[in-house]
Each structure stands twice: as C-alpha cells, then as structure tokens.
Structure 1
Amino acid sequence: MLVQLGAAVAVLAVTAGVGPTGRFDVPVNGFAAATTVLREGSPESVGLDPAPIEAAKATIAGSPLFPGAVTLLAHDGVIVDRTATGKAVRYADATTELPAEQQVPMRVDTIFDVASVTKLFTSIAVLGLVEDGKVDIEKPVSTYLPEFGVNGKATITVKHLLTHTSGLEPFIPLWRDYPDKAARIKAVMDHAPSAPPGSVYTYSDLNLITLGVLVERQRGESLDSVVTKRITTPLGLTDTGYNPPASKRDRIAATEYQTTPARGMVRGEVHDENAWSLGGVAGHAGVFSTAEDLAVLGQTILNGGTYRGKRILREATVREMLTNHNAAYPGNAHGLGFELDQRWYMGGLAGPRTAGHTGFTGTSLVLDPASRSIAVLLTNRVHPVRTNGSINSAREALASGLARALAVRPRQGPTAWYTATGGATLLTGPLRSTGPVSVSFAAFVDTDAGDSLVVEFEDGGEWRALPLRVSGPGAPEQEVSGLSGSGHRSWWTVHAIGPVGAPVTVRWRYVTDSRYSGRGVTLDRITVTDSRRILLDGEKQPHLIRPLGWGPKTR
C-alpha cells in the first residue's frame, strides 16, 4: 500500500513491528508495534553507525550557546545514546558565575522547564476530549467557551487553535497588564484576532492558553490534574508535570535571572512569565520533564497512542494528529498540536510525517515515524539570560547525527560515494568521446531546499551545468539543473546529455548555503557513455573518479 503525505510518497509499506532496523532508505508506514517499550542498547545493536552520533554530541558539548544539555536518541525502541554535558546551574545572577564547587552539573535525569513542548500535552488532552465525544474540533470554540466568541472570534474553531490558524497574535503580556488570573484569562477570551480566522498561519501562545481553559471547562478540573490523570500517570512519567515539588529542585536546571518581573534566578518555577502569572499551569507552557520521559511520550506516539498496555489516544486520533492540516500555508506544516517537517530543528530526520516541537528555554523533541526514531535535546539556553542566542544549530546537529547514523545502502555493489558537506566535488576524466556524452547515475538526496547537487562538464575552461532528467518516488517532474529535496527517502535515477567532442570531463558538485543541511547526498551506479562505448563504469573503474570531499561508504 502506498501512503502519500504532502509531496512525498512512502514507497514501501512494512507491517507494524517488523520494519527494517537501522535503515533510512526504507521508510516505514504505520505505527510501531503497540508492545514496543524503550530499552537500553547501543547504536550498533540496531544497525546504526555510531560515528555521526558522536560527531553530533561533540558539537553540542562544545557549544557556547548554553551552559549545559541533555540528549537522548532512540531508534526502533532502543535508546542508543543518552548524554549529559555542562552545567544545570552555572550562574548566581545575570553575569556572575558561581564558584566551581557551587555549580550543578547536568545529569541524564536532570529536569527541565520544557516551555512550549507543553503544547503537546495540552493538545493530547484536547484530543482526549474529542475521543470522549465532548469536543468537535470543527466546531467554533465559542460552542464550549461562549465568552470566547466576541470581537471577531465567533468563527474560530478548535482546529484553528490546534493548527495556529486562528488569526490570534503570538503573545500579549498578561503578567504585566492584568492584575490576577481571572483578569488574565478574561483578557485572552476578549482579545480580538489580528487577521481573519483561517487566513494566515501565526504561531500563538493565545491559541493554547485558550485550549487549556477549554480542557478545564469540559473536564471540570484543572489542566494539571487532567494531564496527570490522562497522560503522565498512565505512561509512568514520574518526572513530568507542572510546579515540581521542592524535593526535586536539586535535579532541576535553572533558567533565567529575571529582573522584570523581579523573580531573581528562576529554578523550579516556570520561566514563561504568562504561565507563571497563571499559577504555573497553562496550555502553552508550564510542564517540566526529563529526556527519558519525553522519549516515552514520543514512543507512545510512534506506537499509535499506547505504551506498556496503557492507551492515551486511539490510533486513528494519532494518525490525524500527525497529518498536515496546513497545506494552504507552505513551510508551516502542522498536525493537531505537533509541528511537521521543520528542517530548521528536525535536520536530516525531517520529512512530511516527521513531528515535533521546540521550547523557548532551549528544548526540542523530534519524532520520525518513517524510521521510528526519536531525538530529544534539552538545554538551559536562557540561563542566565534569554539573549544567549538561537540553539537551532544544535537542534539540527543532533537530529542530523541520528539521520546520518541510519543506513542508506548502495544501489549497486558494496560501496557508494557519500558527502554531507558543501563544496564536495566528484570529478571524472578527462574522457575521450566520439559523440554526445550520456551521463547516468543513481542519487539518494536529502538536502535543504537551498542546497543542490549539480552535474557539470568542462567547456573551454568553464564549467557548465547539465540539465537533469530524474525519475523515482518524490523526484522532480520537470527537467532540472540541480537536485535537492527531502522526505522522499528513495533512490532516484538520473540522466543527462553532455556535449559532443573529446576529451570531456564531468563533475558532480554539492553546493550548500549557510542554512540547514540534511542527511546528505549519496551517488552510485555512475556511468558515462557516448554513442559507441562506455567511457566510465563507476562500479568497475572507481580509480577514474577523483573525490574531493566525497568518500566511499558501505551504508
């Protein structure tokens, strides 16, 4: 069975629970077996190459963007790596480092304020209401919260809130402009949208604050109680919840030293000022968690909503949760709560079904159903100040490290040519031809949209690009001058017609911009012919190819 999501097609359907372990080039359809439970193992135990994982970890350990970090990588139900690096608490205030003996090192079980990753818990709580028949996501929010349906919001649906297409602006300073919780909630209910509902994608905390109120109203209990009863307790997430107890403070990573409001060094209380002003429990922020707890949540989603025999969502609900409902807003793919296919932090794991979320404090969770993989990065990047800068490079490095650890098997023979870096050139020749040159090869391309593999020939000292005709799942339908793309996870067959004359030199050049990368490019079955004979058989004559930045790989 073929399943199409967006522009990419999963070309091989594999029965749940029997997917090809360790493979990137054989995407899996469906959920993992419901019995899959995370267990400890090594990268090698599930067919992964440990080198890219170690390289990604080295990048994170050496990053100046945060005092410390905890990472966890899992594949096919196995935790293949978990690491703690740096400090959970390093500063006394905005500028003063604590004495070395007073600094607190990161541990693999350090508890983090996960910030907007909280939105996933709220979304799951909402979908639980849908399953219980208490909420219809296509109905106006005012059906359930009548006071919300004012100032142009009467047509905003629950789905608009889940997909950030309500037209509500990203943020209003509730903590500063309103005196108490009741006034702050009323301000959200009263607030007018800045764009017509359904007309734009605007990521907004107000959407999830509203959904948190909706959950409380429909369940008749507080949001934290709902999340505890229906998510964290069934899944055994003992370190996940709002307003962590003082007994766990020593394991909690510090966030920001705040002067406005005057909170001092924030540790063990939610960093987000609006969530703090709402008592630490809100739909958009407030959850604290560990890397392992988030991995269990991720595996629950990969399992289709169940873990250790406890089901928190039906398979059909999870499938809808991971389906793009924002096709009208290119670049902003979004399920019901989960973000989808975001290269900037999902790196080489990005694809139409790849789901995740980030948090302002320096957190991210990435789930790749196509390879049944999980990447968790938790940092305290706002410690001691929020101006430390973006950590997207670290997020992307970790996810790409896991993607590159997964195998892409050569199309023919024992090895293929591979590169993950820009500026790489694979050069032939010169080859003596007696007619038009035909170039053919197989390519496995997983790149950012700004990166491209071009095939060029030398013409009087200048290099000219050959037009490429490409076939295969997810391949461009028209003739192109360069190859780029992600999510298809399939080998392409590529043909090009070169110049007439002798000698001819052909090169494959991978060009990257300064933005995000992906898993990289793999080439195989390189053949150059003219009208009479084979000029180059890459399988039999690899010595005629000069690699600069490329290397032979068996996987």
Structure 2
Amino acid sequence: MRALPEGERPWCSGVAVAAGTGSGPLVEDAFGWAVRYEVYDESADRGVELPREERVPVRTGRRHGTVFDLASLTKLFTTIVAVRAVERGQIDLDGRVASYAPELTAAAEHGVTVRQLLTHTSGLLPELPLYEYADDEQRLARLSAEPPTTPPGAARRYSDLNFLLLQRVLEHACRRTLDRLVGDTITGPLGMADTRFRPPSSWLPRIAATEDQRRPWARLDRGMLRGVVHDENAWALGGVAGHAGLFSTAGDLAVLCRALLRGGGGVVSSASVDLLLNAPGLGFEVDQPWFMGELAGRGAAGHTGFTGTSLVVDRARDVYLVLLANTVHPRRRPGNSAPRAAAGTALAGAVG
C-alpha cells in the first residue's frame, strides 16, 4: 500500500491486514492512522487533519493492535452463535422464528424461518430507522410489525433486519443476551480478548476513529465517533445488535479464521463449518469477486462491513485474509471495494 501525501483523501485513514493459513499467520501489518482527522469540514469537503504528533497510528499485535468497529462482520458472529445453538438442539434451522420469539408478529404471520434469516431470504426490507424511535419498546414494536415485502424464501435480499430478528430468537432460545452468547460461544473459547461489544474506556487509546456524524450526510448528529458503534440502529439499541456492534483487531479475527480452516476449532463442528461456508452459505457470502478478488471462484466465503472491514476464508487454498480499515473517517463516501479485491488477488497470486 503506497504512502499517501499529507492532505490527500485516501481510501481509508488506516488499515490493518492479517493473512495466513490454518496452521498459522503468514503476515500481519498495519498502515496509516487510526485517528487522523479532528473534524470533517463540509465547506471544503475534506477532513481537518490533526497535527502529526496528535495522530494515532494503526498498530498490530495481540493486546496492542488497533481495535476497529467491525460493522456487519458482527453478522458472522451472530451466525456462528446460531449454528452452535442448532448443534445443541436449542433452535432448528427450519423452525419458525415466531416459535422462539412470539412477539415477532409479522414473522409469525408470514411463517419466516431461522434459515431464511441466515440466508437473507426472509423478504424483509434492508433496514428500518429504528434510531428515530424514543425507546426500546417502540423500536421492538416497529421491528416486530414489519412484514416481508416479498414471499419468504422467494428471493435473496440482504437485510440487517434478519439479524435483529435472529438476535431475538437466540436470546429467547438460549436465555442469554447476545453479547454473553458471543463471549461464551466464540471469543472466550478462542481467547479473543480484543473482541467485544461496547468496548471499555480503557481501550479508547487503541480504537480507530470512524465518522464525524452530522446531518445531512449522516442520519444523526453525534460528532466524531471513536469507541462508540458507528451503525445508528446498533447505537440506538445500546451497542449490542445482531447485525453490528462488535469491535475487534485483525489479530483476533485471524484466530477465528484459523479455527474455521481447522474445521471449527472446537467452537462449532466440521459439519456446521460446511453449512457456514459452502454455497449458498449461512451468514457468510460465497465467491464474491467484488471484495474477494481472485480468491473467489473455489468456494471462498466471507463478509464485509460498512466501516471498511472485510474477512475471507478460502478452504480450497487453506488461507484467510482479514482487512480492517476506517474508510468512513472522517466521513462516509460511496462504497469502493477495489482495495479489498486487490488484496484478495494478491494473496491468491502468492499462494497459487
């Protein structure tokens, strides 16, 4: 990744990259700044850069690496919790959502299943402005009453709502909150101490900034965000949500990737890994060259996050690629996954 002149608006302020195999890491490196801008200047359409001595570089290393807002990579953790609950007999993939969470009245009326949530075939809208409602009771009422716009099972349509409903299913069926389920099921067993919802204030010096959130480009006026979830709905829901809210490091996500490449690493069974990673995938997206580059084509599976994050697991080549960036710092721009795809192509070329 080339050095960027001062004042130029790069693809991201900073990035951490980790790649390796099921046996161990091949490379872990960092470039740029976790915190580069003080504010976004709307009139000049550019970030106001902090003095160089006040910026925070992106770093690597366990317990020292930069912590990023994962955005939709959170969905992968919710998915893994779900398949583990299937293994334990707590939920059924083809069970009706309403049989676990009867308050989800629209899902009950239309017969939405757990599998349809995990494969984005429920027919639900991509999102709702839950952050506009005054309290959690009103947010849940709005979410519960939202009907599918197409018949469940008829077509794939990516939706954050699927994972908000899945969160309700899991919390009812497993009798624990999602943050506890992620800790008990994934991060605890794998020793991922740098991965959690609602990071504590002691982590702040390590956390990458995201957006100077102000209207009209953002949905809320929250100022420059650092250590607080970027997604407005996840924030309104208290920072713990099925679709967004987790923070982590490249090193911690590499641990998860290696576990998947090793057949589940004791977190889930090898049969469940097949369900997760084989087409069409559960939660994971399979063979998507727009962000995987030339890693796509042999059954690679992964996901992206709005803040600039991505993860790819390629069992055919026995490699993984984690790329964590803060592309929304100091403000969001139209999506551009070319650098993600280029990294995937470079890794594919390196390992053959």
1:165 paired with 2:110, answer no
8 Å CA contact 2:110, 2:147 repeated in 1: no
Matched residue SS, 2:260:
helix
Paired position in structure 1 for 2:135: 180
Out of 298, 314, 336, the residue aligned to residue 368 of structure 1 is 314
Match runs of 1:204-215 below 5 Å = 204-215=159-170
What are the ranges of 5 or more consecutive residues in structure 2 without an aligned counterpart?
A: 42-47
1:320 paired with 2:265, answer no
Q: Which has the higher relative contact order, 1 or 2, with Cα contacts under 8 A spaced 6 or more apart?
A: 2
Paired position in structure 2 for 1:105: 57
Shift of 1:186: 2.2
Tell me the distance in 1 between the aligned counterparts of 2:107 and 2:97.
13
Paired position in structure 2 for 1:396: 341
Paired position in structure 2 for 1:148: 104
Q: String of CA shifts for 1:379-416, please: whole Å, max 9, x gaps.
A: 000011012x3231110011110101123xxxxxxxxx
Shift of 1:361: 0.1
Tell me the distance in 2 between the aligned counterparts of 1:293 and 1:130.
25
Out of 197, 205, 227, the residue aligned to residue 250 of structure 1 is 205
Instruction: Give the AA of the match of 1:394.
Output: P
Matched residue SS, 1:79:
strand
Paired position in structure 2 for 1:381: 327
Tell me the distance in 1 between the aligned counterparts of 2:313 and 2:284.
10
Out of 165, 171, 181, the residue aligned to residue 226 of structure 1 is 181
Q: String of CA shifts for 1:176-224, please: whole Å, max 9, x gaps.
A: 1x11122212211110111111111110000001111111111212110
Shift of 1:160: 0.3
Of 257-266 and 210-219, more deviation after overlay is shown by 257-266
Instruction: Give the AA of the match of 2:287.
Output: D
1:277 paired with 2:236, answer yes
Matched residue SS, 1:386:
coil
Shift of 1:294: 0.6
Shift of 1:63: 8.4
Tell me the distance in 1 between the aligned counterparts of 2:112 and 2:276.
19
CA 160–317 in structure 1, closer or farther in 2 if over 3 Å, else same: same
Tell me the distance in 1 between the aligned counterparts of 2:108 and 2:90.
24
Instruction: Give the AA of the match of 1:219.
Output: C
Paired position in structure 1 for 2:247: 288
1:406 paired with 2:351, answer yes
Paired position in structure 1 for 2:11: 65
Shift of 1:60: 9.8
Q: String of CA shifts for 1:253-312, please: whole Å, max 9, x gaps.
A: 000111242211110010000000000000000000000111111111111111xxxx11
Tell me the distance in 2 between the aligned counterparts of 1:291 and 1:63.
23
1:263 paired with 2:222, answer yes
Shift of 1:252: 0.3
Of 335-344 and 140-149, more deviation after overlay is shown by 140-149
Shift of 1:152: 7.4
Q: String of CA shifts for 1:136-158, please: whole Å, max 9, x gaps.
A: 11121111111224277432110
8 Å CA contact 2:24, 2:258 repeated in 1: no
Tell me the distance in 1 between the aligned counterparts of 2:50 and 2:346.
33
8 Å CA contact 2:121, 2:157 repeated in 1: yes
8 Å CA contact 1:60, 1:69 repeated in 2: no
Tell me the distance in 2 between the aligned counterparts of 1:394 and 1:353.
21
Sequence identity (%): 47
TM-score of the superposed pair, with normalisation by structure 2? 0.92
Matched residue SS, 1:92:
strand
8 Å CA contact 1:59, 1:394 repeated in 2: no
8 Å CA contact 1:340, 1:352 repeated in 2: no
Paired position in structure 1 for 2:45: none
CA 151–393 in structure 1, closer or farther in 2 if over 3 Å, else same: closer
Instruction: Give the AA of the match of 1:99.
Output: P
Paired position in structure 1 for 2:78: 122
Tell me the distance in 1 between the aligned counterparts of 2:105 and 2:292.
36
What are the ranges of 5 or more consecutive residues in structure 1 without an aligned counterpart?
A: 1-56, 325-333, 408-555
Matched residue SS, 1:335:
coil
Out of 192, 197, 202, the residue aligned to residue 157 of structure 2 is 202
Tell me the distance in 1 between the aligned counterparts of 2:150 and 2:113.
14
Out of 63, 74, 98, the residue aligned to residue 20 of structure 2 is 74
Tell me the distance in 2 between the aligned counterparts of 1:136 and 1:300.
24
Shift of 1:58: 4.2
Q: Name whichever structure is richer in strand by fraction.
A: 1
Q: String of CA shifts for 1:71-118, please: whole Å, max 9, x gaps.
A: 111135232212111111111111321111111111121000010000
Which consecutive segments of 4 or more residues in structure 1 shift more than 3 A?
A: 57-63
User: Aligned residue pairs: how many?
Assistant: 336
Q: String of CA shifts for 1:435-494, please: whole Å, max 9, x gaps.
A: xxxxxxxxxxxxxxxxxxxxxxxxxxxxxxxxxxxxxxxxxxxxxxxxxxxxxxxxxxxx
Tell me the distance in 1 between the aligned counterparts of 2:309 and 2:295.
17
Q: Name whichever structure is richer in helix by fraction.
A: 2
Instruction: Give the AA of the match of 1:224.
Output: D
